Each structure stands twice: as structure tokens, then as C-alpha cells.
Structure 1
Amino acid sequence: MTAPLLVFGYGNPSRGDDALGPQLLELLAANQERHPEWPEIELLTDFQLQIEDAADMENRDLVLFIDASASCPAPFSLSRIQSSQDVSHTTHAMSPATVLQVFERVYRRPAPPAFLLAVRGESFELGEPLGREAEQNRDAALDLLIQLCARPYPDVWQTFSR
């Protein structure tokens, strides 16, 4: 059986604050054990989104993408995303909106409701650890994630969007 909620956390753990997505997925996994009342959640992590990720969205009720961002306001932003093709779309790196569009092209139906949790990062240098501000932003984002997982409904999540 497919978990109704899919969470993608992506980024490169060797590039400083780019580790925010994978770290949040690890923390969310630890919290799953403490919250048996949550619905089943599948957690997937990678360095970047790819075309194949569209297949993972099949039979889902809700999808959340988590990524570090140098341009969102601190500590994070949550936004609903719609399918669209990026002008920079390549098969090497994709945006969540493009993954949604691939889903719609392949399955010939609308993609499940999807949101992007962008967590503010400052330093993305190779070999750097996660920065102090990024850790604080990560912890604030984890608090939100716990609330979202307790109520995995698009209309509820929309109330947290900023």
C-alpha cells in the first residue's frame, strides 16, 4: 500500500546549508516514531529532483518538497506549487513544479496537491557544515513539519503558507 503523504527532502549534505532538506527528513523520521497517530508517510531524499521522482507521486494524496533556499525569507516559507515547466528544465536538475508537470504528462491526470517548504540557508560552500542560522531555521521548520504531519490536508496546509 502506498503512503498517502510523500515528503521529498533534497540537497547536498556536503554543501553547508544545502543539507537542510536531508536533515529535516532525518528529524522527521525520528518524530514519526513518537507520533503513531500520524498517517503513513513515505520519506525520500536525494541530492536533487529528477524525472523519475514523478513516478513516486502516483497514488498520493499530498506531496511536500523540502529544500534549502538562499532567497526565501527566514526562517522558511511554505507555498502551494502548481505544475509548470522551468525554462531552465534539464534532466540533470528539476524544480518541484517541473516534477509535477512530468507527472501530469506521464499519467495524463492532475498531480496530487503539492507544497514546497523552502528553508533559508546562507552558505552553500563545498565541505562547509550547516551554519548556526540555518540550524535555527531548520528547527523552526521542523516545528511546522510536525504540525503539517498531524493534519495532512491541503486546505489546512494552505493556512500555513506564506
Structure 2
Amino acid sequence: MSVVVFAVGNPSRGDDALGPLLMAWLELQARPGVHLVSDFQLQIEHALDLEGHPLALFIDAGTGTPAPFDFRETGPAPSRPVSSHALAPEAVLQVYADIQRRPPPPAFVLCVRGEGFGLGEGLSPEAERNLAAARVFLGRCLDQPDPAHWRRLIGSLAAPAFSG
């Protein structure tokens, strides 16, 4: 199954580099059927990248995220952005639904917990540990890129905390 993976973040802002670092790791793997899209933030144009992919994954860093990461299914939802930039995954999915006049593919969010997002900062030690756990989990996801499998993985995370 083909999957499109969006990774967003700014490598110059400390732990906001988590998304780009996961993307770099995926690029080295060159997995067949995995289409990679990297940017500083999600924009309406990213809705076009969903076309032709029966599964989508959005990767980002978050401050209020449980450690080491959160993984959840998401869907289209209207939002009220101030501009056409910096959309949430749900807004990108809504744009797809609006322009294609059909539901978007099943979509999931992998949000890795970050601690420090200051300009010019490096990755925090906590983010390094969270990144390692996210790599293991992401590998499990992409070993079987199927929405039903990913939903089961969500259920497995509800059990004792995933530590890699």
C-alpha cells in the first residue's frame, strides 16, 4: 500500500527538528511505496500531495504531547486559519475533501514530544530519547502500512507506555 508521509518542523528551532530528523531517517531507508513530503509547516497545497495515496501520516513535534510520542487517527475538520499557511493536518484533509469532493484517505498523526523550541538551540536530551522511540514505532507502522494495522497499534499504545 502506498503511504504519503508529511514531516514538518524547523531544524533551527531546537526540538522542532524532530519531524525533519524522522524524515531524514526515512529518506535513508528508501522504503518502496512511501512518498515523503517535508516542509516547515503544512499549507493548503499539501492537500494535492494526498492524491493517489490510500494512507497518510503527519509527523510533527509537540510541547504538550505525552512522552515519548502520541499516535492517533485524524480526519478532515474545518479550521479558521489567519492565513493560508500553518495548517493543522485536519485542515489539510478538509481542503482535500473540498477540492476532490470525496473523503481523504485514512490519516494518522505521529506527534513526538519536544521540550525546547528556541531559535538556534540543539535537540534536547529528552527529545533525543523520544526520537529514538519514535523511530522504532514508525518502523513498525511502515512495515505494515495498513489503516487497520495502525489502528491496532493505537490500541497497543493504550497499554503500558511505549518505550521503544
Partner residue of 1:29 out of 27, 46, 49: 27
Structure 1 position 71 matched with structure 2 position 71:
no
* Cross-structure match for 1:14: 12
Structure 1 residues not aligned, in runs of 5+: 33-37
Q: How far 1:72 moved relative to its partner?
A: 1.0
Partner residue of 2:89 out of 96, 102, 105: 96
Partner residue of 2:109 out of 101, 109, 116: 116
Partner residue of 1:42 out of 17, 35, 44: 35
Query: Could you say what secondary structure the match of 1:118 adopts?
Result: strand
Q: Deviations over 1:93-140 (max 9, x none)?
A: 100000000000000000000000000001000000111110110110
Q: How far 1:86 moved relative to its partner?
A: 2.3
Query: Could you say what secondary structure the match of 1:124 adopts?
Result: coil
Q: TM-score, normalised by structure 2?
A: 0.90
- In 2 relative to 1, CA 52–88 (structure 1 residues): closer, same or farther, beyond 3 Å? closer
Q: How far 1:92 moved relative to its partner?
A: 1.9
Matched residues in 2 for 1:92 and 1:61: separation? 25
Matched residues in 1 for 2:78 and 2:61: separation? 20
Q: How far 1:85 moved relative to its partner?
A: 1.7
Q: What is the percent sequence identity of the aligned residues?
A: 46
Structure 1 position 52 matched with structure 2 position 45:
yes
Q: Is the 8 A contact 1:89 1:98 kept in 2?
A: no
Query: Could you say what secondary structure the match of 1:19 adopts?
Result: helix
Query: Could you say what secondary structure the match of 1:149 adopts?
Result: helix
Q: How far 1:88 moved relative to its partner?
A: 4.0
* Cross-structure match for 1:35: none
* Cross-structure match for 2:77: 84
Aligned residues: 155
Which structure 2 residues correspond to residues 126-145 of structure 1 after superposition, within 5 A? 126-145=119-138
Q: TM-score, normalised by structure 1?
A: 0.91
Q: How far 1:59 moved relative to its partner?
A: 1.1
Q: Is the 8 A contact 1:17 1:131 kept in 2?
A: yes
Runs of 4+ in 1 over 6 A off after TM superposition: none
Residue identity matched to 1:99:
V
